[in-house]
Chains A and B, each alone.
Chain A
Amino acid sequence: MIQVNNVDFAYKKGRLIFENLTMKFEPGSIYGLLGKNGSGKTSLMKLISGLRYPKTGNISIDGIDSVGRSPEYLSKYFLIPEEFDFPSITIESFVKLYSPFYTEFEFSQFEHYLSEFEVAQNSIITKLSLGQKKKFLLAFGLSCNTEVMLMDEPTNGLDIPSKVQFRKILAGLADTNKAFIISTHQIKDIEEIVDHISIIHHGQLRFSSAIDGIIENLVFSEKQEHNESEILYEEKHFGSTRIVGKNIDNQYTTVDLELLFNAVLVNDKKIKEIFDKNKIENHVTV
């Protein structure tokens, strides 16, 4: 389990990115970490991966602190960064050199993912296109079988068939005892696979809930179906008005992440009240 405890973090003195941030990520879930550009998603990824250290507070995976980047800590996760660079060697050589660092690495799994993504194993990595490189890194990262997978904008650079493939692979891993944290602003790409949503805004965790909790507490529908008093957020959408409302009569609607995201940015306090009232577990907010 990843535990972020009372973390303050700033790149420059006096300009805090996170203030007293507390959150946790449990195994067996796929977390969607949402936020606008510059909201702190990548900074949180860097903090969890130990590339940056918190000014105060601490971050741990299974009780091991991120500070110091111990091999024990580093072997708990695999990070797919938004931008990456590889040595000028073949995929085969890369696997030979890098996979022994990950004791749970499965070569057959790697071969399977590579063929799913249609990447040739004898390619020189630096000669692959950006999308191909990303697919190779995803295949390698997933085959490392670390407890935690950190993915920063994993679908950036992927073509449509590869995005479908990516969702399919991840959906197949959803029940395993691993935590996947996907940071993205491309909400549509992860809508069908995530089972937990965390929204970061201005360096603060504004919303965090399992998809089940969202369905139980909120409804996503057209405006005419709802009474004004229950509406938490509304926005015009191609002639109609879509709303996020309080679920008072146990309707179960499909979660519209884009609508939820905008609703949280506008009305997070009211949403928090609803969740608190219904005592939904795992809900953390400011």
Chain B
Amino acid sequence: MSQFNINRFWLTLKKDIAENIKVVINTILISLLIVLVFIIIEVVNSPDSIIDLNKSFRIYYFVILVILGTVFAGFSFPAFRKTEKAISYLTLPSSTIEKYLSYLLLSSFGFFILFTLMFLLFDYVVIFVFNLYKPEYIQSYFTFDSKIFPTIISVYFNLNALFLLGAVVFKKSPHFKTSLFVLSVFLIIFLTLSISIYFVNNYSLDLGKSNMFHKSDHLLIPFDNTFPSVVIKHLLQYGLVLFFWFVAYLKLKEKEI
């Protein structure tokens, strides 16, 4: 019996979808209702001529995708929050890779696709209704900003993968503990860098004034469209994602109850 069997994987995925889909859909619907309230407030309070709903929708899309995506990733493997559930989850006859891929698909790709589709539908309905009642200020339907979209995807997958790892590692309060861990790591890196720079160059690091993050001509690695540059750029964007996914799999494999 191999470690990966497509039929068994499908059974695992089907089971995980059946057990989680209601919560996911309900949460997306609630968040879209909240967006609707914000949109209504915006429409009511703004002079018609300066309303740009497309811009607002893009911001809402990004914010909700990242926040909900992170939350759902942190809620992955819900069985591990309770020992009794974890026992039946871990003793179910499917392999660790099948169990892992099932949640990876659900919380990363599945959520992304489902949320995007529901958001597009929501946008279509809202804009359609708006245009019906305010034909003099026609609003365009949601489109992805090709400049910013890759960054959104990168942020989404990096956070998602990090919190997926947290969901495997931490039994209680995975969101809080993962956030705390990340903040601690950033703080340590920042302090180490600051102290090193101070002692080596007698220079204090002031991120606010640094050009490093603001102007592309001051970037440490100048990206162009050559093949090595593209590879390095994508590695920087998604390298950590792959790393977190791999570590989460290893942690799941050695999980004991």
Show the binding face of A for B, using Cβ within 8 Å. 46, 49-53, 68-72, 74-75, 77-79, 81, 83-87, 89, 93, 97-98, 100-102
**B91 proximity list for chain A (CB < 8 A):** 49-51, 69, 74, 77-79
The 25 listed contacts between A and B (C-beta, < 8 Å) are A46-B257, A49-B91, A50-B90, A50-B91, A51-B87, A70-B1, A71-B1, A71-B5, A71-B95, A74-B93, A74-B94, A75-B93, A78-B91, A79-B91, A81-B84, A83-B84, A84-B88, A85-B82, A85-B84, A86-B88, A89-B18, A89-B19, A97-B11, A101-B93, A101-B94
> Would A68 and B253 count as touching, CB distance under 8 A?
yes
**A72 proximity list for chain B (CB < 8 A):** 1
> Would B256 and A53 count as touching, CB distance under 8 A?
yes
Distance between B198 CB and nearest chain A CB, rounded to angstroms = 41
In whole angstroms, what is the CA distance A88 to B32 when docked?
26
Known A51-B257, A83-B84; judge A97-B93 contact (CB<8 A).
no
> Would A69 and B90 count as touching, CB distance under 8 A?
yes
Distance between A215 CB and nearest chain B CB, rounded to angstroms = 35
Chain B, range 71-97, C-beta contacts under 8 Å to A? 82-85, 87-88, 90-96
Check if B3 is an interface residue, CB within 8 A of chain A. yes
Check if B8 is an interface residue, CB within 8 A of chain A. yes
Chain B residue at minimal CB-CB distance from A137: B88
> Would A98 and B15 count as touching, CB distance under 8 A?
yes
**A84 proximity list for chain B (CB < 8 A):** 84, 87-88
User: Secondary structure at chain B's binding surface: helix, strand, loop or mixed?
Assistant: helix
**B5 proximity list for chain A (CB < 8 A):** 71
Distance between A246 CB and nearest chain B CB, rounded to angstroms = 42
> Would B94 and A71 count as touching, CB distance under 8 A?
yes
In whole angstroms, what is the CA distance A150 to B253 when docked?
22
Give the residue of A79, A87, A101 whose beta carbon is less than 8 angstroms from that of B11: A101
> Would B19 and A70 count as touching, CB distance under 8 A?
no
In whole angstroms, what is the CA distance A70 to B5 when docked?
12
Distance between A141 CB and nearest chain B CB, rounded to angstroms = 11
What is the size, in residues, of chain B's interface with A at 8 Å between Cβ atoms? 26
> Would A85 and B88 count as touching, CB distance under 8 A?
yes
In whole angstroms, what is the CA distance A31 to B87 when docked?
22
Check if B58 is an interface residue, CB within 8 A of chain A. no
In whole angstroms, what is the CA distance A84 to B257 when docked?
13
> Would B1 and A100 count as touching, CB distance under 8 A?
no
In whole angstroms, what is the CA distance A72 to B3 when docked?
9
**B8 proximity list for chain A (CB < 8 A):** 71, 101
Chain A residue at minimal CB-CB distance from B1: A72
Distance between A18 CB and nearest chain B CB, rounded to angstroms = 15
**B95 proximity list for chain A (CB < 8 A):** 69-71
Give the residue of B1, B18, B92, B256 whose beta carbon is less than 8 angstroms from that of A101: B92
Distance between A81 CB and nearest chain B CB, rounded to angstroms = 5
**A50 proximity list for chain B (CB < 8 A):** 90-91
- One digit per residue, 1 when the CB lies within 8 angstroms of any chain A CB and 0 when it does not, for chain B 10-21 equals 010011001100
Chain B residue at minimal CB-CB distance from A83: B84
Give the residue of A49, A74, A97 whose beta carbon is less than 8 angstroms from that of B18: A97
Distance between A103 CB and nearest chain B CB, rounded to angstroms = 9
Chain B residue at minimal CB-CB distance from A103: B93
> Would A74 and B92 count as touching, CB distance under 8 A?
yes
Chain B residue at minimal CB-CB distance from A100: B11
Residue from A46, A68, A71 with most neighbouring chain B CB atoms (10 Å)? A71
Give the residue of A51, A53, A97 whose beta carbon is less than 8 angstroms from that of B14: A97
